[in-house]
Chain A
Amino acid sequence: MNTLADAWDWLTDSAHWAGDDGVWHRLTQHLVLTVVCLVISCLIALPVALVLGHLGKGGALAVNISNVGRAIPTFAVLVLLLLTPIGKWGEGPTVVALVLFAVPPLLTNAYVGMREVDRDVVRASRGMGMTGRQMLWRVEVPLAMPMILNGVRIAAVQLVATATIAALAGGGGLGRIITAGFNLASTPQVVAGAILVAVFALLVEAVFEVAERLAPKRGAR
């Protein structure tokens, strides 16, 4: 229990919150990194998934890509990218690695969501004379929205976790507080950093949970 008290002392010391190595700076880095990568991943994955889902092609690819992604260690990819020429662009390796790992869940969930839309509903919309584009935006996407958002949520949580590992490979973010703590052999700082990261990850999960509860229920009845 002593360690927890020490960690609390570390957290309540205002000196640890200011400056370039401070909590506020690391928290901002973590948040910016997560949001930027989430937006890039969505821009890459969602159009592909929606088009493939609409056409009903490439399903095996979309699902398998997700399983392969799990087998590849994030940490290994980060270090590999760091040692290639991309490593010279500062946060470059981190962004590439994060996007690489956020795309599979987005792709798989959006594709599966699109395919699970009731075929009768899709045929009915075609019977009403809708064009392919109208069917996609007015019927399929709204009905697939819960699954698509679930993918976004999984991707977001994964991004928070991966952004933490980036600190091992010299990137910024909250993980840096933990790795710096290890280098200083300061257990209170390590535990304090871990608490910050855990709370941040749980907050992101909670934000999505609340957003899902508040969203209008479409097709649930």
Chain B
Amino acid sequence: MTAPPDDCLARNEWICGEYLSTRRDILLDAVGQHLQLTALSVLIGLALAVPLAVLARRWGWAAGPVLAVTTILYTIPSLAMFSLLLPVYGLSEALVVAGLVLYSLTLLVRNILAGLRAVPEETRQAARGMGYGPIRLLLTVELPLALPAAMAGLRIATVSAVSLATVGAIVGFGGLGNLIYSGMNTFFKAQVLTASVLCVVIAVAADLLLLGVQWLITPWTRAARA
């Protein structure tokens, strides 16, 4: 009979400081991959969603199909989405990013479109009366006024992307999900808990960051209240 080991790694405890210090590099790599996956997919999603929403706003008939298609994509479970894209991208980081982009599209398009639709007709007419062309109207009046609604969508999309990225572990590119997956197979409790907590921390931090960005880029909403 040996004495119980005084090492929390050997005792396989949930919370283990030893784990943090010995696996720092693995954790940092996973966090890096996680941030890269989510940032890339949300940015690409945004780059696709803005034109789609503007098109749907300009031509009313386009709104139905755009919303229907993005909603259908959102309904498909993430594991299935990653698998369906497998023949196109193979086992790669691009596969996970593509899947996450398709998810963020629904949330972003809906919110940006709602923001654009909420711009009062009087405001648009006033801008037109001041000689604004359609492009200038869009860039300097409509899009800025749609910002609060768009930012709300962006925050939800980012938080969802952080948590969905973990499922990318199925193809080996899931950031912190990889650690959760391998921790599950080896019953490594400290690794699973640490990676899960880090996921939530990243999601909350990203949300707060975007809230700060929104505060900075929409100064007029503060002036109105003061």
Contact = CB atoms under 8 A, between A and B. Distances in A.
Interface string B184-195: 100101001101
Contacts of B78: 161, 164-165
Contact of B192 (A4, A79, A168): A79
Interface in A81-113: 82-83
A191 B180 contact: no
Nearest to A4: B87
Contacts of B204: 71
Contacts of A169: 184
Contacts of B184: 79, 82-83, 169
B75 A168 contact: no
A40 interface: no
A137 interface: no
Provide the main secondary structure of the chain B interface. Answer: helix
Interface in B171-199: 171, 177, 180-181, 183-184, 187, 189, 192-193, 195-196, 199
Contacts of B156: 70
Provide the main secondary structure of the chain A interface. Answer: helix
B65 to A, nearest CB: 16
B21 to A, nearest CB: 22
A175 interface: yes
Interface residues of A, number: 40
Interface residues of B, number: 39
Contacts of A160: 77
Nearest to B199: A73
A160 to B, nearest CB: 6
Contacts of A74: 163
Given A169-B184, A191-B87, A197 B192 contact: no
Contacts of B164: 73
Nearest to B203: A71
A164 B196 contact: no
B163 A179 contact: no
B87 A75 contact: no
A52 interface: no
B83 A193 contact: yes
Interface stretch (A14-22, A139-147, A198-206): A198-206
A191 B84 contact: yes
A159 to B, nearest CB: 10
Given A79-B192, A168-B181, A187-B87, A202 B207 contact: no
Interface string A152-179: 0000010011101101110000010011
A79 B177 CA distance: 10
Given A179-B170, A198-B80, A202-B76, A70 B163 contact: yes
25 contacts: A3-B87, A4-B87, A71-B200, A73-B162, A73-B200, A76-B166, A76-B177, A76-B196, A77-B196, A79-B180, A79-B196, A80-B192, A80-B193, A161-B78, A164-B79, A165-B167, A168-B167, A168-B169, A175-B79, A182-B170, A187-B86, A191-B84, A193-B80, A197-B76, A201-B76
